[in-house]
């Protein structure tokens, strides 16, 4: 038995299989395209080390299953061969058990009995703050899926999705979070467990609420994703709420649920007088895109904002959408038609930013995107004013780095950054308008 052979080394991401297990009657209510079992993590280095390798096994399979609602866990480790135990052979179950709460199942039959029990008895923790509906027949994969808000509740194929707000003080939630938090390590790069000693954490959790075809009066809840929120003091007596962790599990991704969860958080912020604004901690590129798209759509749908910003031509009669020509292209606006300029009126921007509770840098970026979309490319004065407006913000944001360069290099770097920013704005706008 050659212990140096690569055949004893296994890719941890491939070996670890995750499943959201439903009771038989709930599985029978799914469409063929809906698959919630047998997906894999994106990262396992927080558990198995930087190389994400497991040593000492052949044909290693790790099944970590969750009851789809309560997230009660079952762990099974199987292999065809194993090297004699030594300090170099990984203890797979012992390693994983350090990251999940004790009491997980190792008997699959008992686990399935628990799944059946929890399907009928599990209910979300906390207060419902948002909901939307989707026809089961439209649960397809694709970016920018529209979230339908109103479907017939009598339709057995209508699937409800609900968002609940909780804190550490919510009865039962602390134990639920201990089962849920593993997903942060597996799907958020650089993610880590938050401290239960910090009692100000808030949570929003998204669930699927599904009717059983066999018993339409029975509804069951299934975990979709969640976000952690942390409040910071904001003078004089309010808080800034920061999105810290945000994830949607792979079986539900590319289906519009991330946008729905973000919308739920934003609406929660708007409706809470004690919250001054919503911020985001070190957002990943994919989340930043999601945030930009949803914030832009919100601004465009705000008729008063668009009318004041760009003049009456910026608002149509169908819900605040950008005015379009007969050929379907967005109209360009003459400079000075509204408060957006360019340059935009700073006092007016700050009034709206405060009212909409959007962080300063994010709001400025959104404004710059909207001006770019509406600006007449033939208007040289507007183009110059826009360039100066964006560059001024970039200069302030990157001041320390730019001041390390000489004047010519500084101007060149600022122009390169401006061109890169504008190109990215056009990309984002292409997904929204």
Q: Which residues are catalytic?
A: 281
Q: At what angle do helices 285-301 and 407-432 cross, to 10 degrees?
A: 70
Identify whether the C-beta of residue 209 lies closer than 8 Å to the C-beta of residue 128.
no
Q: Which two tokens stand for residue 71?
A: 């997230």
Tokens 């390390």 locate to 404
CA 242, CA 276: separation in Å to the nearest integer? 11
Cα–Cα dist 125/165, whole Å: 8
In DSSP terms, which residues pair with 219 in a beta bridge? 211
Q: What is the 3-state secondary structure (H, E, C) of 306-318?
A: HHHHHCHHHCCCC
Residue 13 tokens, joined: 């991401």
Neighbours of 335 (CB within 10 A): 21
Sign of CA dihedral 102, 18, 188, 239: negative
Tokens of 230: 């942390």
338 burial type by CB count under 10 A (0-12 exposed, 13-18 middle, 19+ buried): buried
- SS3 of residue 91 by DSSP: coil
Scanning the structure block, which residue is given the tokens 């059983």?
A: 212
* Crossing angle between the packed helical segments 360-374 and 285-301, to the nearest 10 degrees: 60
Residue 361 neighbours by CB distance under 10 Å: 12
């Amino acid at each position: 038995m050659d212990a140096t052979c690569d055949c004893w080394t296994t890719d941890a991401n491939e070996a670890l299989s995750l499943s959201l297990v439903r009771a038989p009657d709930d599985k029978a209510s799914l469409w063929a395209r809906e698959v919630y079992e047998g997906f894999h993590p994106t990262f396992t280095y927080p558990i198995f080390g930087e190389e994400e390798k497991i040593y000492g096994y052949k044909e290693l399979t790790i099944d970590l299953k969750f009851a789809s609602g309560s997230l009660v866990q079952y762990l099974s480790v199987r292999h065809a061969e194993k090297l004699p135990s030594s300090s170099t052979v990984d203890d797979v179950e012992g390693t994983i058990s350090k990251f999940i709460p004790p009491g997980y199942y190792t008997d699959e039959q008992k686990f399935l009995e628990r799944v059946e029990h929890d399907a009928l008895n599990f209910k979300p923790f906390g207060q419902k703050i948002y909901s939307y509906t989707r026809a089961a027949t439209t649960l397809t994969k694709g970016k920018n899926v529209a979230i339908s808000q109103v479907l017939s509740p009598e339709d057995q194929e209508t699937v409800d999705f609900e968002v609940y707000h909780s804190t550490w003080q919510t009865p039962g939630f602390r134990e639920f979070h201990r089962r849920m938090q593993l997903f942060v390590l597996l799907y958020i790069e650089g993610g880590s467990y938050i401290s239960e000693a910090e009692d100000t954490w808030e949570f929003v959790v998204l669930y699927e609420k599904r009717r059983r075809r066999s018993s339409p009066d029975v509804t069951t809840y299934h975990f979709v994703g969640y976000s952690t929120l942390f409040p910071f003091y904001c003078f004089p007596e309010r808080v800034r709420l920061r999105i810290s962790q945000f994830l949607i599990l792979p079986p539900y991704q590319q289906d519009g649920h991330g946008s729905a969860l973000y919308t739920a958080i934003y609406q929660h912020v708007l409706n809470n007088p004690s919250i001054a604004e919503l911020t985001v901690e070190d957002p990943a590129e994919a989340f930043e895109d999601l945030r930009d798209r949803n914030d832009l759509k919100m601004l465009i749908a705000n008729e008063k904002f668009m009318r004041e910003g760009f003049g009456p031509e910026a608002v149509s009669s169908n819900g605040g959408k950008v005015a379009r020509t007969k050929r379907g292209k967005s109209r360009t606006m003459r400079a000075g038609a509204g408060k957006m300029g360019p340059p935009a009126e700073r006092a007016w921007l700050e009034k709206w930013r405060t009212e909409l509770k959007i962080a300063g840098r994010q709001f400025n970026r959104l404004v710059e995107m909207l001006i770019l979309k509406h600006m007449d490319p033939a208007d040289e004065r507007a183009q110059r004013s826009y360039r100066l407006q964006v560059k001024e913000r970039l200069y302030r944001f990157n001041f320390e780095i730019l001041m390390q360069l000489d004047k010519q290099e500084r101007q060149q770097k600022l122009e390169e950054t401006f061109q890169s920013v504008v190109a990215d704005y056009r990309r984002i706008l292409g997904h929204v308008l």
